[in-house]
Amino acid sequence: MIAYKQASTQKELEQILALQQQNLPKSLSNAEKEQEGFLTVEHSYGILEEMNAACGHIIAIEHEKVIGYALCMHPKFCNSIEVLKPMFQEINKVIKNNCNYMVMGQICVSKEYRGKGVFRGLYKTMKEKLPMGFDTIITEVDAKNQRSLHAHEAVGFQELKRYLIDNKEWSLIVLK
């Protein structure tokens, strides 16, 4: 049975990174990227641990193995990951001052668990575990990643805006 919780151990963080490695573009064929989607950011253990200390990452576990995750990225990390800096700049352009948001820094489900509700379960748990005072989840998706865009739309995300950075189109989306 799949359980959802916030990451709390070094082993869980290491398993997140292992699953991440399997789903980065460098580990996937072009066909896999198109059919299954892909991840953009490769995190270090250090930044993953710092982010987790601010707001525990959401993980899906079965038989003590992380089979999916949604990374919680507090806005205070806006300058910590170079590729995500433009996203925070775009968020600041469209979000009103009375909106306290958490960024979902990356979501991934192990291949053998896709299509089984894990993605939805991760977001449901993330909404439930948002720190006091936070009421919105924001993320961005590479516009070429159609699988991810459709999955996010299916759980209730709405597009805030599209923008180009270094000839790459991004969709900035929000879940309220």
- Measured in Å, how far apart are the chain's first and last C-alpha atoms? 28
Residues 160, 132: contact at Cβ < 8 Å? no
Q: Going from the first residue of the chain to its last (176 residues), give the mean pLDDT of each consecutive group of 10, the final group possibly shorter.
A: 97 98 92 86 95 97 97 94 92 83 94 95 96 92 90 95 93 93
Three-state DSSP string of 108-167: EECHHHCCCCHHHHHHHHHHHHCCCCCCEEEEEEECCCHHHHHHHHHCCCEEEEEEEECC
The pLDDT of residue 106: 95
The fold of 3-175 is Aminopeptidase (3.40.630)
d(CA 175, CA 127): 9
φ, ψ at 107 (rounded to 5°): -130, 140
pLDDT at 135: 86
* DSSP letters spanning 20-57: HHHTSGGGS-HHHHHHH--------HHHHHHHHHHSPP
In angstroms, how far is CA 18 from the centroid of its own chain? 15
* Segments making up each domain of the chain, as ranges: 3-175
**What is the rounded CA–CA span in Å between residue 104 and residue 139?**
5
**Per-residue confidence (pLDDT) for residue 42, from 0 to 100:** 93
Between CA 105 and CA 93 the distance in angstroms is 19
Q: Which helix (H) or strand (E) holds 106?
A: strand 101-109
| pTM for this predicted structure | 0.93
Per-residue tokens: 89? 């700049």
pLDDT at 39: 87
